[in-house]
Every structure is written in structure tokens, then in C-alpha cells.
Structure 1
Amino acid sequence: MARRTSLFGWLRRSKKNGGRKTSEGALLLDKPVNPDHRYNDVTPLVAKFQIGQVVRHRHFPFRGIIFDVDPVFANTEDWYESIPEEVRPRKDQPFYHLFAENERTHYVAYVSEQNLVPDESDTPLNHPDIPEWFDMTPRGTYELKKGVAN
């Protein structure tokens, strides 16, 4: 029976071999393994809101339905820098993708958790992309359609 070894042990042995092919298989390292780094560590952040939840912006007059969540900021630096510094949100929090709407138009918004609050109104949303992604339940909530999630 073959000897079992941990991934970290295998990487450490491969590092000693300079990252070259070993008898156990191929491994090409472009950087040395750092034994103090926690690889594939899960973020401790937990999203406050969920997909399908209707929310509104804390400061601006729009509301929307969440269709995706990033555990931390994942947009471009240009987008981030375009926000005035005095109101720029922290990057180390969940950011939500919304099918958003206001009195005049509908659009897709990217909003930090600190700037969202639950929308308590019973007014249905009118964004044209909602029917493609969500079904309205008898309770008046939105449920993600099967096959839409990746």
C-alpha cells in the first residue's frame, strides 16, 4: 500500500528538490512555500444580506434586489477611486450586485454592505432583468430560479 502524505509535506519535499519533478509526480513551483501562510483560507466575513433580498441604499434614493455577492471588494481600482474619499467604503466587507431602480430608471449597482439596509416596503420591483433571474413567491419574496446560479 502506498504511503499517504499531506499536501504540505509533499510541497515541502518538492521545495527541497527545487520544485523539480519528484518520483511522486510533477510539481513546478514559481515561489517558495511559506509554512506560516494559510493557503486557501476561508474569509471570516459573513454577508448580512442574501441573494433575492430587496434592499435600499442608506444615503441615495434607490432600491434593488441582490443577485450576487462578493465577500470583499472585487471591482476595478478606477471604479473605487471614482468614489469621493469622504464617502468611500472599506474594501474588507461584502459588496453586493443589485438589479437597482429609482424613480427614473433601472440599472445594475455595486454597493458595499455598510451602505445597504433592508427594504421594508411591499412595493414590487420593476427592473426588467428580475423575471429572468427570480420568481415571485406567494409571500411576495423573490426566489432565485433553478439553473440561474453558477
Structure 2
Amino acid sequence: MNSRFAKFAIGQVVKHRIFPFRGVVFDVDPVFANTDEWWESIPEDIRPIKDQPFYHLLAENDENTYVAYVSEQNLLAD
């Protein structure tokens, strides 16, 4: 495992690189820490690598608010 530092801080507002939602970071995992079922539900051609920070977000889009779990490679500062 590579030593990784989180690019985004708790409390920071971020947006998804591809999908139309944004959120506030409330926790960070230094590497993937979710279930295999969750991981396998992501289409293989867009599945992120596990060896990077993953962020827990209080997220929102035009219709809902929810909790999201997103890889660092798919987030941008908002």
C-alpha cells in the first residue's frame, strides 16, 4: 500500500467529476473500506482503484440529499 494523504479535508465542499452532485466531506478512509458487493456494483470500465483515499460525503443533487462514498480521483473542489 502506498502512503497517501487526503487531498480534501473534513468540512470541505466537493463535486463529482462526472455525475451531477456535490457534497461536504464528513469522513475519509485512506484506502477503499467498503464491501466487495459495493465495489463490484461499479461498472468495471469506470471502477476506481482501491489504493487511494475514499470520502464519505453528505451529498445532494437536484432531487435528493444522501450519503455518498467516492474515490479521490472522482472528486473536484467546489
**Secondary structure at 2:68 match in 1:** strand
For the pair 1:67 / 2:26, whether they are aligned, the reply is yes
Give the equivalent residue in structure 1 for 2:13.
54
Larger radius of gyration: 1
Once superposed, which parts of structure 1, at least 4 consecutive aligned residues long, lie more than 6 Å away? none
Unaligned runs of 5+ in 1: 1-42, 120-150
Alpha-carbon separation, structure 2, partners of 1:97 and 1:114: 14
Partner of 1:105: 64
Task: Report the equivalent of 1:82.
Answer: 41
Give the total of aligned pairs: 77
Q: Give, in whole Å, the separation in 1 of the partners of 2:3 and 2:45.
A: 27
Task: Give me the TM-score of the superposition, normalised by structure 1.
Answer: 0.51
Aligned-residue identity in percent? 71
2: distance between equivalents of 1:46 and 1:118? 16
Cα distance per residue 1:71-107 (max 9 Å; x no partner): 0000000000000000000000000000000000000
Higher relative contact order (CA 8 A, sep 6+): 2
Q: How far 1:44 moved relative to its partner? A: 1.3
- SS of residue paired to 1:56: strand
RMSD over aligned CA atoms reads 0.7
